Amino acid sequence: MLNHESFLLTGPTHSRPFDADATYRADGRAKPVLLFVHGFKGFKDWGHFPLLADFFAERGFVFVKLNLSHNGLVVGGTGDLEDLDAFGRNNFSIELDDIGQVIDALFAPGTTPIPAAEMDLGRFFLAGHSRGGGLALLKAAEDPRVRAVATWAAIAEVHPQWPQAVFDDWARTGVLHVPNTRTGQQLPLHYQLVEDYQVNRARLDIAHNVRRRLRQPLLIIHGEADETVHVAAAHALRKLRPDAELLLLPEATHMFGGAHPWPHAELPAPARTVAEATAAFFERQL
């Protein structure tokens, strides 16, 4: 029987509550802890992500996932994107701070409902999908408590390479809308996202941080049929860290076979390959 524990945090700078949960087998033995970060337009319970939690828990990990505070979900809400104002006020600094707050909570005894005896925080790992993979790289580069990192279909830079005319119009209007093809929503992005990047460029520069500051073992997984983040991003990350392990899945798309909702009791086959490779990689670090 697996334990599923939920907990609530509140950002110290933005005061917006966000939730996280942990899945593990309660056996009184200290287990490695893996924190998973979702991507843009994603959330912790998207599609097959709960099945990933079960997979890693069965494999002997404490698997923790969070809803980034400004991802558009509301604590106690519908479970899908509904707070578009919060979504529009999101930025990369907020997301890094959210991840840091979860890490701080896990390392502070009694702050989460996970018993300290169940966690070996000397074996603390990060994994992230898509934009969450980029965030995992940046957070690991600034937090030595992270012992190893795995990225799944990760971005290689946070700056969108749009034409200057797009940025000029964005600055003039203050908001840019991007479609959510799954829900049909037009999702706002306020220009403060660009301003935050400009002010915090050193912290948010993935290339610089991976090349100069990331010291932890790194696993890069990408689908060669990724329609959202081209596989070139994986090769770019590997070029920055030649000692990283690289796994390319020839027919895998961006979500590794998953969809939302995911009605099946088993992981999609590509996602299971990702999970097995990631678990084996972290186990080699133990």
Instruction: Go through the domains of the chain in sequence order and give each one's CATH number.
Output: 3-160+202-284 (3.40.50.1820)
Amino acid found at 156: A
Q: What is the rounded distance in angstroms from the CA atom of residue 32 to the CA atom of residue 277?
A: 16
Dump pLDDT digits (tens) for 232-258: 999 999 999 999 999 999 999 999 999
Query: What is the predicted pLDDT for the residue at 13?
Result: 86
Scanning the structure block, which residue is given the tokens 């702050």? Answer: 111
Q: What is the rounded distance in angstroms from the CA atom of residue 122 to the CA atom of residue 75?
A: 31
Examine the pLDDT at 51 and tell me if it is beyond 90: yes
Short-list 120, 130, 151, 131, CA closest to 216:
151
Short-list 22, 45, 37, 26, CA closest to 260:
45
List Cβ neighbours of 159 (8 Å cut-off, separation of 6 or more). Answer: 197
Dump pLDDT digits (tens) for 57-109: 999 999 999 999 999 999 999 999 999 999 999 999 999 999 999 999 999 99
State mean pLDDT over 39-58: 98
Q: Is 76 helix (H, G, I), strand (E, B) or coil?
A: coil
Burial-class residue 275 by CB neighbours within 10 Å (0-12, 13-18, 19+). buried
The percent of residues in the chain predicted with pLDDT above 90, rounded, is 97
Query: What is the predicted pLDDT for the residue at 286?
Result: 83
State mean pLDDT over 155-171: 94
State both tokens at 104.
Answer: 């701080």
Report yes or no: 67 and 94 within 8 Å, Cβ to Cβ. Answer: no
Mean pLDDT of the chain: 97
State mean pLDDT over 257-272: 98
Report yes or no: 71 and 9 within 8 Å, Cβ to Cβ. Answer: no
Instruction: Label residues 161-193 b or e (16+ Cβ within 10 Å = b).
Output: eeeeeeeeebeeeeebeeebeeeebebbbbbeb
State both tokens at 40.
Answer: 């843009």
Q: What is the rounded distance in angstroms from the CA atom of residue 240 to the CA atom of residue 253?
A: 23
Query: What is the predicted pLDDT for the residue at 160?
Result: 87
Query: What is the predicted pLDDT for the residue at 253?
Result: 98
Scanning the structure block, which residue is given the tokens 């033995």? Answer: 29
Query: What is the predicted pLDDT for the residue at 141?
Result: 98
Distance of alpha carbon 21 from the chain centroid = 14
110's enclosing H/E stretch is: none
